[in-house]
Structure 1
Amino acid sequence: MARRERVVRMSVEQPLWRALTAYRVLTMGYAVLLFVFTRDQFERPWVAVAFLAVMSVWTLATLPKVAGAAGCTTRFLAADLTVALAGILLTPLADVHAQTFDGPTLPSIWTAGSVLAFAIKGGWRWAAFASSLVAVANIVERGDPSRDTLHNVLLVWVASIAIGYVVEVARASERTLARALEIEAATRERERLARDIHDSVLQVLAMVQRRGTALGGEAAELGRMAGEQEVALRTLVAGGLSRTSHVSEDESLGAVVREVEEPDEDDGPADLRALLARHAGSRVTFSEPGAPVLLAPAPARELAAAVGAALDNVRRHAGETARAWILLEDWPDEVIVTVRDDGPGIPEGRLAQAEGEGRLGVAQSIRGRLRDLGGTAELISVPGQGTEVELKVPRVPRGPRGKAAE
């Protein structure tokens, strides 16, 4: 089946840029309204009008710049901070009594937006640099700063550094999470490939080895070569499951995680009875409910493949004369398929030994499939009394850790 790859971009800082954009617009309006209601107190109101006009045009024109880290360059940050500092230093020129009465500056709290942009872009060090310049400008503007002025300056300085530090911690956590998700996605994809290889190539190679050995002559040599390739391929598959992968990053868009996504299914639910009935035969008895057992197409195919892998194990280990029984049960919250045989059973410790040898029939073709579906696979075997495999798949789609999908 064709599969397509989807790129999921995660960025914990993107909401911060959106909040900063809204903050700049709102504080711009606040500074303008503050002047409108106190314009009678200004000795040179035209200075305030000129600056507020420039600040408003600059704020609206640069909204795309603060929409994300890519547009918020160091050159823009320097220009934006220059506008804020100019507004602070022009305040005594527009209002001579501003130094005396400790009133608000022309840009008012709009200045904090420039400092926050430094914090989000570069972390606490950039925030400390920008807030220090703003603090110096406020002290110079006041001439003889009051206690309230020093308190406000210190508050902005501490808050901006704290926000910058939080952004740095969030970025580090984001990279860690992205890498964990990438490793999990890569591991699940390798397990899926291992199951497909086990269900097709490895079984064909094993069959060629057995038939070639039985026929003898040149066919025996072909069987020997097939056996060597089977061992090499099992080693490769088992070794590939322990490797890790790399996660790429993009500072402007956050960490990147690649997901492999199945194409949309438009055929509707599949009747599991039809998928399992093909396994019925002279030595395989299939018992089913009278009504259709409907599952989504992908889980239904995976469950049927797990049943096929269980029957392959019966034929391979219990012998061609062994009998098997398939029981399909339809419950309100889950579907249960039980595969039972009358073979000699599995010796204790044999499954762990087989997995160590790269034989992943139970580990991947059965348990791995059910784990990906959010279900479970339980194997009960008593030497001399056969083996029973119980496969459970929840009705509500669940993730590999058993959590209900959103």
Structure 2
Amino acid sequence: MTAAEPRGTGLETALWRAVAVYRGLALGYAAVVIAMNHGGYAHPFGGWAVLAVMAGWTGYASFAFGPAAFASTGRARRGRPLLAADLAVAAGCVLATAWVEASGNIAAGRPTLPVSWVAAAVLSWAVAGGRRAGVAAAAVLAAANLMVHAVAGTSGGIGGTTFNGIVLLFLAGLVVGHVVRLAREAEARLARAVELEAATRERERLARRIHDSVLQVLAMVQRRGGELGGEAAELGRLAGEQEAALRALVGAGPAVPPADASGAGTDLRPLLAGHASTSVTVSTPATEVRLPAHAAGEVEAAVAAALDNVRRHCGEGARAWVLLEDGEGEVTVSVRDDGPGVPPGRLDRAAADGRLGVAQSIRGRIADLGGTVSIVSGEGDGTEVEMTVPRARV
């Protein structure tokens, strides 16, 4: 299953098909039990009527929960109304036992009319909603089993068969729901691994082409510009910066989609690595630093604004360092340069004069994310802009 496929076309289809198979097999078992016991029923034809309802619902549910219905109507077809109807039919068939079956047989521990067929409803809820949904469905059917004994007026309480059946329902809901959740997580990780592998192959192909053409031309321009001097030297310097940035981009690792299937967000490292050049050094952790896509974009834009200030105010020979730190509950990005520094009060005067580059491009963006910005500078000591964004607010 790829990221572009709707959820429900791979693993989920197989799960619903397995539930349909179980429902059909359990229907056959219920038919055998009813055929064997109908002679002792208080209302024998009632047993066949319940079996007919079960058969009809089995056919409809196999279609409604199946891949054909999903393809035509989407996941909403398997939503709460259908799941509620499935559970209601199962509970109704259990409750019908109190009318069809003789009280003495119920007291003796004879199983309910649908026997294990009702577990299909628990499995459906577990597949659709996980452990909690599966356990909730099991609780409804357990209550229906207890009501059968209450209506029949059995004085000895529930028998061992009924108790075991209730326990198995809860176990089915709990275990199947847990396994389904693990399987979906594994499928999401597999899909992501496939995407990363494809992205890596594409990056390697592009890297070979770029190395054979663009990088070699930029390196030649840098070398010849330095030899010629004058305006050509400046052109060579710019070519060298672009070569370094392009090499960093090519070697930064596989392209990562903005958000993976589990909604983990965007890795901030590749965004910041794109600003690396001969005059800008970018340092990031070895592991992913993920933020929501919007927050990651705003942080990257604030870093770009800080580097733009370095280029405009610190001169051609100034260097800058970008450091990304992944703390517990927060992400910190600092931009430091070796320029002349900012004189005291200059930022306040710039804001008063209407020049809002730092106030809006940096402080404003980070403040909107619930973060803080600290600017430390002194004349001749360079400037450091530290931006901290708490994860809880992004």
> Does structure 2 retain, via aligned residues, the 8 Å contact 1:31–1:109?
yes
Cα distance in structure 2, aligned partners of 1:200 and 1:18: 53
Aligned amino acid, residue 236 of structure 1: L
Aligned amino acid, residue 180 of structure 2: V
Q: Does 1:176 align with 2:189?
A: yes
2:31 maps to 32
Cα distance in structure 1, aligned partners of 2:48 and 2:186: 45
Cα distance in structure 2, aligned partners of 1:104 and 1:62: 24
2:57 maps to 58
Q: Does 1:185 align with 2:198?
A: yes
Cα distance in structure 1, aligned partners of 2:249 and 2:174: 47
Cα distance in structure 2, aligned partners of 1:196 and 1:223: 27
Q: Does 1:18 align with 2:17?
A: yes
2:287 maps to none
Cα distance in structure 2, aligned partners of 1:173 and 1:65: 26
1:94 maps to 100
Cα distance in structure 2, aligned partners of 1:160 and 1:18: 17
Aligned amino acid, residue 89 of structure 2: V
Displacement of 1:153 after TM fit? 1.0
Moved more, 223-232 or 22-31: 223-232
Decide which of 222, 234, 245 is 2:256's aligned counterpart: 245
Equivalent residues in 2 for 1:291-302, closer than 5 Å: none
Aligned amino acid, residue 124 of structure 2: A
Aligned amino acid, residue 231 of structure 1: E
Aligned amino acid, residue 225 of structure 1: L
**Normalising to structure 2: TM-score of the pair?**
0.54
Equivalent residues in 2 for 1:198-217, closer than 5 Å: 198-207=211-220
Cα distance in structure 2, aligned partners of 1:211 and 1:75: 73
Cα distance in structure 2, aligned partners of 1:204 and 1:240: 16
Cα distance in structure 2, aligned partners of 1:194 and 1:221: 30
Note the alpha carbon deviations across 1:277-310, whole angstroms, 9 max, x for none. Answer: xxxxxxxxxxxxxxxxxxxxxxxxxxxxxxxxxx
Note the alpha carbon deviations across 1:72-127, whole angstroms, 9 max, x for none. Answer: 21111100010010011111211224412321212111100000111111111111
Displacement of 1:188 after TM fit? 3.4
**Normalising to structure 1: TM-score of the pair?**
0.53
Displacement of 1:24 after TM fit? 0.9
> Does structure 2 retain, via aligned residues, the 8 Å contact 1:31–1:107?
yes
Equivalent residues in 2 for 1:317-356, closer than 5 Å: none
Cα distance in structure 2, aligned partners of 1:75 and 1:124: 19
Aligned amino acid, residue 61 of structure 1: Y
Q: Does 1:114 align with 2:127?
A: no
> Does structure 1 retain, via aligned residues, the 8 Å contact 2:23–2:117?
yes
Aligned amino acid, residue 93 of structure 2: G
Q: Does 1:133 align with 2:140?
A: yes
Displacement of 1:210 after TM fit? 5.6
Cα distance in structure 1, aligned partners of 2:80 and 2:3: 32
Total equivalences in the alignment: 244
> Does structure 1 retain, via aligned residues, the 8 Å contact 2:138–2:170?
yes
Relative contact order: is structure 1 or structure 2 higher (C-alpha 8 Å, sep ≥ 6)?
1
Equivalent residues in 2 for 1:249-268, closer than 5 Å: 249=261
Cα distance in structure 2, aligned partners of 1:213 and 1:139: 90
Note the alpha carbon deviations across 1:361-391, whole angstroms, 9 max, x for none. Answer: xxxxxxxxxxxxxxxxxxxxxxxxxxxxxxx
Cα distance in structure 2, aligned partners of 1:73 and 1:7: 22
> Does structure 2 retain, via aligned residues, the 8 Å contact 1:42–1:96?
yes
> Does structure 2 retain, via aligned residues, the 8 Å contact 1:23–1:113?
yes
> Does structure 1 retain, via aligned residues, the 8 Å contact 2:109–2:160?
no
> Does structure 2 retain, via aligned residues, the 8 Å contact 1:91–1:141?
yes
Cα distance in structure 1, aligned partners of 2:115 and 2:163: 15
Q: Secondary structure at the match of 2:213?
A: helix
Cα distance in structure 1, aligned partners of 2:126 and 2:147: 23
> Does structure 2 retain, via aligned residues, the 8 Å contact 1:65–1:72?
yes
Cα distance in structure 2, aligned partners of 1:86 and 1:237: 68
> Does structure 2 retain, via aligned residues, the 8 Å contact 1:202–1:230?
no
Displacement of 1:16 after TM fit? 2.2
Moved more, 5-14 or 228-237: 5-14
Root-mean-square deviation (Å) = 3.1
Cα distance in structure 2, aligned partners of 1:50 and 1:56: 10
Note the alpha carbon deviations across 1:19-74, whole angstroms, 9 max, x for none. Answer: 11111112122222322233222221222222221221121122133226824211
2:345 maps to none
Cα distance in structure 2, aligned partners of 1:124 and 1:116: 10
Runs of 4+ in structure 1 off by over 6 angstroms are 211-214
Displacement of 1:147 after TM fit? 2.4
Aligned amino acid, residue 147 of structure 1: G
> Does structure 2 retain, via aligned residues, the 8 Å contact 1:187–1:241?
no
> Does structure 2 retain, via aligned residues, the 8 Å contact 1:87–1:106?
yes
Decide which of 217, 229, 239 is 2:239's aligned counterpart: 229
Distance 1:241 1:203, change over 3 A: closer
Displacement of 1:250 after TM fit? 9.0
Looking at secondary structure, tell me which structure has more helix per residue.
Answer: 2
Cα distance in structure 2, aligned partners of 1:205 and 1:29: 75
2:131 maps to 124
Distance 1:34 1:148, change over 3 A: closer
Decide which of 66, 69, 82 is 1:76's aligned counterpart: 82
